[in-house]
Amino acid sequence: MANGHCLCGQLTFQTTGKPNWIMYCHCASCRRHTASPVTCFVNYKSNNVTFSGDRSTFASSPGVTRSFCAQCGTPTSYETSKRSDEIDLYLNVFDEPETFTPQKHVYFDEHISWFDVNDNLPRE
């Protein structure tokens, strides 16, 4: 079980069980949503995640919903109709992000040229 919360603290979530995967995403949409050169997701089955608080959503592309705190704007999740029973939580909103170790990089072809991580993880 791992918990998380937004910057102001009114939006919280609880997870149960283990995540399915943990990945860095370098896509331009995630960079913009997080205002960060790269982000990282922790994927769970949707029914293993419970939110509490006021959560807003934005449809960033067809079938894709990104959520964020309605008060402070902290990004919290990515959901896609292609994987409708799953939710990707932003790793950095977990209370203990160090407990999750990324397994690979995705959308690496969109990465910012000056940004890289010194690891041997697969880059897709």
We find the least distance from the C-beta atom of residue 120 to Zn ion, in angstroms, to be 21
C-alpha of 92 from chain center: 8
Asked if residue 6 binds Zn ion (CB under 5 A), the reply is: yes
**Which positions from 60 through 119 interact with Zn ion, judged by CB under 5 A?**
69, 71-72
Specify the residue, 29 or 48, whose C-beta has the smaller distance to Zn ion: 29
Q: Find the shortest distance in angstroms from Cβ 18 to Zn ion.
A: 22
Selection from 101, 58, 103, 102 nearest residue 76 by Cα: 58
Rounded to an integer, what distance in angstroms lies between the CA atom of residue 26 and that of residue 45?
Answer: 22
**Options 24-32, 59-67, 81-89, 115-123: segment touching Zn ion (CB under 5 A):** 24-32
Strand 49-52 and strand 55-61: the pairing is unpaired
Give the residue among 37, 81, 73, 38 at the shortest CA–CA distance from 57: 73
| Binding residues vs Zn ion (CB under 5 A) | 6, 8, 25, 27, 30, 69, 71-72
